[in-house]
Amino acid sequence: GETRYNKDKILQGQGVDEPLSATGFRQADAAGLFLSNVKFTHVFSSDLLRAKQTAATILGKNKFSNDLEIKYDARLRERKYGVAEGRPLTDLKAMAKAAGEQCPSFTPSGGETLDEVLERARDFFDFLCRLAVELEQKEQDVCAAATRSSEAPAEQSGFPWTNHCSETELSSDGASQTLDASILVVSHGAYMRNWIGYFVSDLNCTLPTDITKSQLSSVSPNTGVSHFIVKLENGNVLKPEITCVCLNQDSHL
């Protein structure tokens, strides 16, 4: 969600730990309502305040998962911008120009390189894949969950994409009920842009047909939602098959 620093185009990175603005809380509420029917098995968030507040607000609106514990992980923090943190974005651009470089590849003094951000994202994604494999291996638990999902609940859980996104189709019978894990991750714009770039460039993620290069390289709007389906054939965490259902979705705002 938005902070006052977002609105004023001031870099926050990791060193500025601003709370959500009133607008940011409204955005988080809207995202929570949008995702209220998704049955999450896990919730992870950056340990920076703006992400923690966003995750808690989203989960508080959820019909199925609001008793889950949010796990905070420093690997999900925004890119560190060093001496540029707390300063206007225009200052970062001026620093890059003076160095003969361009944003976002420029690294200010004390900041993280894009490779360092990517390493954090890669490490966290590997952790998620191993988590999913461990869940699959707990056969009794999986069978019990399958039995429960086959019963007709008062309210059906599911993803809200039908009328909002390009069709990289989920099955009409509700793919969420066949997943070993349904994981909500709340992070930050520059970090997620790098993570998505890793999916596309390194892991050959399948994209919706109408996604443009500019959309791939742009930062998500505040509380923008992206949805990926990850398949690990025979528990092989080294070769995940990734499908992007939607990218930086903001129709809830």
Task: Pick out the residues of the known binding site.
Answer: 50, 78-81
Token pair, residue 135, equals: 């869940």
Query: Which residues are documented as binding site for substrate?
Result: 50, 78-81
CB 249 within 8 Å of CB 30: no
Q: Where are the beta strands (DSSP E) in the chain?
A: 42-45, 70-72, 183-186, 225-231, 241-249
- Biggest CA-to-CA distance, the chain: 63
Total residue length of the chain = 253
In the block, tokens 């994409």 appear at 161
CA distances from residue 182 to 64, 71, 115, 191 in whole angstroms, order as listed: 12, 14, 28, 21
Interior angle at CA 39, CA 36 and CA 43, nearest 5: 90
What burial letters (b/e) apply to 111-137, b meaning 16+ CB within 10 Å? bbebeebbebbbebbeebbebbbebee
With a CB cutoff of 8 Å and minimum separation 6, the contacts of 32 are 57, 58, 59, 60, 61, 62
C-alpha–C-alpha distance, residues 97 and 101, integer Å:
6
CB 201 within 8 Å of CB 194: no
